Chains A and B, each alone.
Chain A
Amino acid sequence: AFFWLVSLLLASLIWFISVHLSDREDAKLQYGLLIFGAAVSVLLQEAFRFAYFKLLKKADEGLALISEDGRSPISLRQMAYVSGLSFGIISGVFSVINILVDSIGPGIVGIHGDSPYYFITSAFLTMALVLLHTFWGVIFFDACEKRRYWCLGLVVATHLLTSGLTFLNPWYEASLVPIFIITLCMGLWAFVTAGGSFRNILKCLSCKQEDDSRVMMYSALQVPLED
């Protein structure tokens, strides 16, 4: 979350400077600068995700060194999930909290001719964004780990595409539906990347007892009981 915030800070700094240096009155230029600012922000977010990956990798190595059995207590996949989730949460919260607060207060949605579905579509978009960040985190970390750079490029491209689709926004059919389709695809991709498969789902649903107790213990940050 901290890393996402720093990336947002830098992106706003760039946007702010560019706005101040440009002509305030020209609406088209301002809109163009906004698009530019959003694109820069997306690129910075991904860059900071990469930086976070590097940091976690170092920490992972350190933890593995000092632990008893040579493995770190948290696997890289769990870290990827957590990192994606935290990016998603902070991004979603920043996008939606002011809207939520306004939605409590008295008012009429869309009284000036905007869409009356503003709140509900914001809610859906935020949900999609949170899920997307989580999936991107998993895919991104896995791609960095296995050095599949085309995956990285694809993640960045879909992020840009998603952000760009929101620019079509009052036309919700064109923006919401593709975004949800992208979310589903990313979800499937992340699931496969994390090692899931159809058989795993079946096994999970049939409630077979797995030998996963050690994973649970590690993920709860507990010291295994020493004898």
Chain B
Amino acid sequence: MITFMNNSDSEEEPCNERTSLMSAESPPVPSYQDGLQASEAGEAQAHRKRRTGGSCNPNNITDGEAPGTGVPVRESTSENEEEELTLKYGAKHVIMLFVPVTLCMIVVVATIKSVRFYTEKNGQLIYTPFSEDTPSVGQRLLNSVLNTIIMISVIVVMTVFLVLLYKYRCYKFIHGWLILSSLMLLFLFTYIYLGEVLKTYNVAMDYPTLFLIIWNFGAVGMICIHWKGPLQLQQAYLIMISALMALVFIKYLPEWSAWVILGAISIYDLMAVLCPKGPLRMLVETAQERNEPIFPALIYSSAMIWTVGMAKPDTAPRGPSQQTWDAAEDGRENHRSPSHAASQMSETSPAPTRAITSLEELEEEERGVKLGLGDFIFYSVLVGKAAATASGDWNTTLACFVAILIGLCLTLLLLAVFKKALPALPISITFGLVFYFSTDNLVRPFMDTLASHQLYI
């Protein structure tokens, strides 16, 4: 389907798309004339790409279907109930998102701390051509800013390209790109990762076993991500590929460039999602016009709602639309040779909100909330970089972790308030960056001095 969003971009670009928080619910239906109309409106709204997570869909639909006494009365009570349900489910959604984000970060931090490979400098990506090995601080800063500009412009170009492809319905192209990306991620990167982990722990493994393991892992992953599969397994695979991408970023982005890129990406995310002419927003609106689910791939969803008996014929079926946007494979440089491949890593863009048009049952079903995979990746990049480069070791990592989770909480709160697509990166990344630099430079000497005298505060 709409793979181009994520696939055609470079890794950055899909990150942008991915960096939006999508709500799995449709916005509250304003009209409650009668049951049928309300449910149809609810369907249409469910198809709308909501970027913020939240769930009062069934609420809307059930409200609409209740035999109405008076329309205004029903509206006000339903609004109250909606709000209440929103807040109640809001808390649940926060927790539903905390777990995968935490898991992804744990995987990244564990790998960084144990496997040497991901902290060694072995060349740079083609997107960050300027090296940071310069003697003067000013030169280094300039290089990192230039790197950032190049990276962000690549992302912007890719996003715009993606939106254009989507507008002109080049679905096959996107589809193919997506599959290629996920193939690369699932097979090549897993192979490299497994190789490094085995090297670290000095475990010998013969090639036939390796082939068997990687083949099974990759094949099941492709099926789960692009077709149907158990929800938990799909979530696990999405977490794993996010972690792999984040590790690649941590390894190949030079120090200062990484921090500047993180900052710039969150600003870009803010603009792309909220500005009227932003590419991501246009994507959402186009998908809404066409009543299609946007980007089923590359969005982590915490719950699956099986649509039963869809009334509208053009509703995209759920299963095949589950495309994960994998970063367009870029021929990432092999860790053995610092050659730069120029393939595009397409990031899976945040999957559009699932069409939550479960009309019949599912009143109190799990409503999921969706978070783009790019968000996972950049959160993990921040925490991983904190783990890799901070001299204060674990304190800094923990502080960044708490900061990111609190940022995610706040974003979800805003989502519940505004009920439209919101970028998930800015608040969390800002908190994370502030906490990283302040903990590394201010808190660490303080805590170290206290600990050396065994003082507790």
Chain B residues 53-68 with CB under 8 Å of chain A are: none
Selected contact of B456 from candidates A129, A221, A223, A226, CB within 8 Å: A129
Query: For the complex, what is the distance from the CA of A45 to the CA of B457, rounded to whole Å?
Result: 9
Is B88 among interface residues, defined by CB-CB distance under 8 A? yes
Selected contact of B447 from candidates A94, A162, A167, CB within 8 Å: A94
Residues of A within 8 A of B317 (CB): none
Chain A residues 152-187 with CB under 8 Å of chain B are: 162-163, 166-167, 169-170
A91-128 near B? 1/0 per residue, CB < 8 Å: 10111011101000000000000000010011001100
Interface residues on A, range: 35 or more
Query: For the complex, what is the distance from the CA of A63 to the CA of B83, rounded to whole Å?
Result: 10
Residues of A within 8 A of B443 (CB): 8-9, 12
Is A66 among interface residues, defined by CB-CB distance under 8 A? yes
Residues of B within 8 A of A9 (CB): 435, 438-439, 442-443
Number of A-B residue pairs, CB cutoff 8 Å, is 106
Residues of A within 8 A of B453 (CB): 34, 167, 169
B82-107 near A? 1/0 per residue, CB < 8 Å: 01110111011001000000000000
Contact (Cβ within 8 A) A34 B449: yes
Is A190 among interface residues, defined by CB-CB distance under 8 A? no
A115 → chain B closest CB, angstroms: 9
Contact (Cβ within 8 A) B454 A122: yes
Selected contact of B398 from candidates A42, A93, A99, CB within 8 Å: A93
Is B445 among interface residues, defined by CB-CB distance under 8 A? yes
Query: For the complex, what is the distance from the CA of A76 to the CA of B393, rounded to whole Å?
Result: 36
For chain B, the count of residues having a C-beta within 8 Å of the partner chain is: 38
Interface core residue of B91, B393, B395, B456 (most chain A CB under 10 Å): B456
Contact (Cβ within 8 A) A5 B80: no
Selected contact of A94 from candidates B87, B92, B395, CB within 8 Å: B395
Contact (Cβ within 8 A) A98 B455: no
Query: For the complex, what is the distance from the CA of A218 to the CA of B241, rounded to whole Å?
Result: 36
Is A191 among interface residues, defined by CB-CB distance under 8 A? no
Nearest chain A residue, comparing its CB with the CB of B447? A94
Residues of A within 8 A of B92 (CB): 221
A162 → chain B closest CB, angstroms: 7
Is A213 among interface residues, defined by CB-CB distance under 8 A? no
Query: For the complex, what is the distance from the CA of A122 to the CA of B456, rounded to whole Å?
Result: 9
Q: Which 3 A-B pairs have the closest CB atoms?
A: A12-B446, A12-B442, A169-B454
Known: A1-B402, A5-B403, A68-B84. 18 other contacts (CB 8 A): A2-B402, A8-B457, A9-B435, A9-B439, A9-B442, A38-B450, A41-B457, A66-B83, A94-B398, A97-B393, A97-B395, A98-B392, A98-B395, A101-B393, A126-B456, A166-B455, A170-B454, A221-B92
Give A residues with C-beta under 8 Å from B: 1-2, 5, 8-9, 11-13, 15-16, 19, 34, 37-38, 41-42, 45, 63, 66-68, 73, 90-91, 93-95, 97-99, 101, 118, 121-122, 125-126, 129, 162-163, 166-167, 169-170, 221, 223, 225-226
